[in-house]
Amino acid sequence: MLYRQEYGWNERFEALVAGIAADFLRRHDPKRERCWIAERNGRRLGSVMVVRQSPAVAKLRLLLLEPEARGQGLGRRLVETCIRFARRCGYRKIVLWTQSDLTAAREIYARTGFSLARSARHRGFGHALVGEYWERKLD
């Protein structure tokens, strides 16, 4: 709903998110995968997850911050939590896929040590978009 309101994305984005969440629940390996939900006074403010892409590579998924939680460093803290967890699990790299128009998220990724690896134009969620693949080594 939030991405529809803010970016005009259609139900295909909702289906993608639902599929990612369903895969996590079906295949969850608690030793190598996690989901965090940030709350304040019982209200959910944000969430993020780390999943296994390969034995050496973790993937950051579904970073989301509610509008009232933005600009307070919560997104950075969620991403840093993912990085620490992935490092403790022995992953050597963490990757993610985002869209070029998600500027606040891209700033968080850059500030937490991710680098843009490549980008590709695509049609998704009812719009012409530029998908971006970011990565960070976990030495």
| pLDDT tens digits, 36-77 | 999 999 999 999 999 999 999 999 999 999 999 999 999 999
What domains can be seen in the chain, in order of their start residue?
2-137 (3.40.630.30)
pLDDT of residue 139: 83
What is the pLDDT of the chain when averaged over all its residues? 96
In this prediction the pTM is 0.94
Q: Write the DSSP string, 93-134.
A: EEEEEEETT-HHHHHHHHHTT-EEEEEEEEEETTEEEEEEEE
The helix (run of H) or strand (run of E) holding residue 115 is strand 115-124
For residues 20 and 3, what is the distance between their CA atoms, to the nearest angstrom? 16
pLDDT of residue 131: 97
